[in-house]
Structure 1
Amino acid sequence: MKQLLTFAVVAGLLLLAGCNTVKGMGQDIKKAGESIEGAVKK
Structure 2
Amino acid sequence: MIRKLATSAALLVGMWALSGCHTVHGVGQDMESGGRAIERSSGE
Normalised TM-score (structure 1): 0.62
Q: Which aligned runs of 4 or more in structure 1 are off by greater than 2 angstroms?
A: 9-16
State how many pairs are aligned.
37
Match for 2:27: what amino acid? M
Q: Which has the higher contact order (CA 8 A, sep 6+)?
A: 1
5+ unaligned residues in a row in structure 1: which ranges? none
5+ unaligned residues in a row in structure 2: which ranges? none
Q: Which has the larger radius of gyration?
A: 2
After superposition, the CA RMSD in angstroms is 2.3
